[in-house]
Amino acid sequence: MSYIRKAVSDQEKLIALIHPHWIYLATGFFWSVFFILLGIFLDGYLNTFFDQSHLNFIIDFKTHYSYGFLTPVTIVFFIITFFVFWPYFSTYVSSEIGLTTERIILKSGLILVKIDEVDLQDIGAEHVYHGLLGWLLKYGKIKLDCRFVKDVSILAIANPYGFVKASHKARLMHPKIHYNEGAYFENINSIELKEKDNYSQAVIEKLKISFKNSFSNSSKNRTSRGK
């Protein structure tokens, strides 16, 4: 069962429960494949360019593999792969972001559980950060500027602007938070403008990269023709 669901008190209601974006899992998988292939490449290189007895003199043992010999180099890279993949995997499966009628709760950790929370009335401003990849996949990180406690950073989640707008709606509905409808709609419009502006900037950056690559390829083609 969700940790945050159990942590929600009877005096509040859970509005949204969100997990980190799958980009964490994809990033861990990417680096895992990279290090595994790098280890296999180095294993093959050593077996090809070094005498086997000399290799055994340097590294005292070898493990039989289905197509030949697997040197400790590859084993070391498999171990490195585990330690590279685990933080991304752990972040993806163990982290939760909860929005209630009273607060925002952040939970992380599988064994050593860490809880961060901030009351809705203590949130002064929100900032959404995402690059070109975040724009393409619709995810982003959120930083909450808090008044009386330390600022809180939220992991990359899908539809971060939707989460921010939901937190504003929760503040509007809170009976003890002075937040009138005029200020609410003004802030929602501001959030939507930032969303459009950030996505527009991402589109511009994408077009710049495409133009730069096209120009570079055209220059190479002209140079090759001149030769």
State how far the Cα of 81 lies from the Cα of 29, in Å rounded to an integer: 9
Report the b/e string of 39-53 with b at 16+ CB within 10 A: bbeebeebbeeeeee
Mean pLDDT of the chain: 81
Q: Which helix (H) or strand (E) covers residue 160, if one does?
A: helix 160-173
Number of domains in the chain: 2
Last residue of a domain, one of 50, 73, 91: 91
Do 134 and 190 belong together in one domain?
A: yes
Do 131 and 207 belong together in one domain?
A: yes
4-43: per-residue pLDDT in tens? 998 898 889 999 999 999 999 999 999 999 998 888 787 7
Q: Are 128 and 198 in contact (CB under 8 A)?
A: yes
Single-letter amino acid code for the residue at 134: G
Do 52 and 129 belong together in one domain?
A: no
Do 164 and 205 belong together in one domain?
A: yes
Do 127 and 206 belong together in one domain?
A: yes
Give the count of beta carbons closer than 10 Å to the beta carbon of residue 19: 17
Single-letter amino acid code for the residue at 26: A
163-180: per-residue pLDDT in tens? 999 999 999 999 888 888
Residue 11 forms part of a structural domain: no
pTM as predicted = 0.76
Residue 143 forms part of a structural domain: yes
Of 70, 83, 116, nearest to 97 by C-alpha is 116
pLDDT of residue 63: 46
The residue whose two tokens read 């090809």 is 48
Residue 113 forms part of a structural domain: no
In eight-state DSSP terms, residue 101 is: S
- The domain of 185 spans 120-214
